[in-house]
Amino acid sequence: MYAKTILNLGDIMSYSIIDYALFNANKDFNEIPFNKVDALIFAQLSYLNYTGIVEDTRSESKGVYLHEIAEHEGFSNIFTLPRTVENNMKLFNAIAYSKRYGKIKAKFYEDIAEKDSDTQFGAVAFVLPGNLNVISFRGTDATILGWKENCNMLYRYPVSSQEISVAYVDKVIPKLRGKVIITGHSKGGNLAIYSSVYCKKENKKKIKQIYGFDSPGFTEDFVNDEEYLSTLPKISKFVPEESMIGMLLTDKSSYQIVKSDGIGFYQHDPFMWQIDGITFVPGTKIVMRAQIIDKTFNDWVFGFTPKQREQFLEGMFLLIEKTNEANSPTFRQWVENLLTNIPHAIGAVKGISSEDRALFTKVLRQLFATMGTSVVTTQKSYLNKRIKKLPIIGTF
């Protein structure tokens, strides 16, 4: 379900990206200039599978109008993520024939999934009227492969998809006329920032704005790089109040907190973000439980060397692979089949070397210890801030 369905805009204060697209369907970009909500919509469109409809970067085609995608015989196949099929269909139908989005073309679709290199990458470009273009990077899908590459970011810099994102930008921007906006949700936002930092200088000059929506941060090496620091003024980052992805690792860019109708991890879902007019409903602060989770994770990660992180994560995913008797592509399916794979799990654990088993034990023990420390320190920080705000009523 998405945030709200509205019959009368004046009845309530906030609505969803689907409602935004519907209410502004007859207002082109001259009437309402491209804004942060449009950037989130295009970030969401990158999750669709345009294979067989939109040509890749090897092509010099003129692109495909959104209404042509909607009329394509393979249209129903572009919605590949079960959890978001309904909302993605509603969003696409809201924009395909509208005045605002109807003249937009999709071009240069890339979809890469390579198990050997732990690569899960997707990107698409959109050509808007008025010499404006949007490059949208796809976030993590529900596959085990996609999440393995995410975990690789904890010890490897750069990961494969980051390198590919730079190559994509350098290949696509010269083929686009006018300024370019780069956007992405979750890992897609990480790629939007990374590619903008390390693309060729002549291409960087054409980048107007960079958007990251609840996207994870980077290693310390990256955020201390002069190339990143010089790009910061163009970066806009947004996170929900219960952000559990966007606050991970390190990031020197400022961020805006937004309200979401989701609970817990579901605040990560763009369809749950609240919109008022042409902007997001501002949130107040990152809630304590999200702060605890983020602090626990970051302290835990940086408590080990990159090599130890690599050994642990490689071992964890090897264990998942060995217990994946049903060859489930997604974590959800793997969990559903886990009971039948318990004998394989026992065998897999026995097959781990004593050195790796000791590392596993150490890392997990440290995780629980860090969790307890994070709860105490986060609550203490919260109380100290509250105490400082108390009025001074007198002296003794």
For the entire predicted model, the pTM comes to: 0.77
Q: What is the pLDDT of residue 5?
A: 43
pLDDT at 51 over 70: yes
Round to whole Å and give the CA distance between 249 and 245: 9
Mean pLDDT of 223-229: 93
Lowest-confidence region among 67-76, 113-122, 300-309: 300-309
Q: What is the pLDDT of residue 9?
A: 43
- Which of the pair, 237 or 247, is modelled with greater confidence? 237
Strands (E), the chain: 64-65, 105-114, 119-128, 132-137, 179-185, 207-213, 235-240, 255-258, 275-276, 279-280
Round to whole Å and give the CA distance between 328 and 350: 22
- Which of the pair, 395 or 36, is modelled with greater confidence? 36
- Which of the pair, 162 or 286, is modelled with greater confidence? 162
Residues 240-296: tens digit of each pLDDT: 998 877 777 767 778 899 999 988 778 889 999 999 999 999 998 877 666 666 666
Share of the chain above pLDDT 70, in %: 64
User: What residues form DSSP beta bridges with 210?
Assistant: 182, 235
Residues 118-156: tens digit of each pLDDT: 678 999 999 999 899 999 999 876 555 555 665 666 666
Lowest-confidence region among 67-81, 170-184, 193-207, 246-260: 246-260
User: Could you tell me the pLDDT band of residue 310, with boundaries at 50, 70 and 90?
Assistant: low
How high does pLDDT run on average in the chain?
A: 79
Q: What is the pLDDT of residue 227?
A: 96
Mean pLDDT of 100-127: 89
- Which of the pair, 183 or 250, is modelled with greater confidence? 183
Mean pLDDT of 188-212: 97
Residue bearing tokens 């605890």 = 292
pLDDT at 387 over 80: no
Q: What is the pLDDT of residue 189?
A: 95
Give the Å distances, CA to CA, from 114 to 81, 143, 324.
19, 12, 18
Q: What is the pLDDT of residue 120?
A: 86
Q: What is the pLDDT of residue 390?
A: 40
Q: What is the pLDDT of residue 235?
A: 96
Centre a 10 Å sphere on the Cβ of residue 323 and count the other Cβ atoms it contains. 22
pLDDT at 340 over 70: no
Sign of the dihedral defined by the CA atoms of residues 387, 250, 172, 202, in that order: positive
Residue 51 in tokens: 């294979």
User: What residues form DSSP beta bridges with 391?
Assistant: none
Residues 5-32: tens digit of each pLDDT: 444 444 444 589 999 999 999 999 999 9
Round to whole Å and give the CA distance between 176 and 47: 22
- Which of the pair, 346 or 307, is modelled with greater confidence? 307
Mean pLDDT of 324-348: 56
Is residue 182 exposed (0-12), middle (13-18) or buried (19+ Cβ within 10 Å)? buried
pLDDT at 313 over 70: no
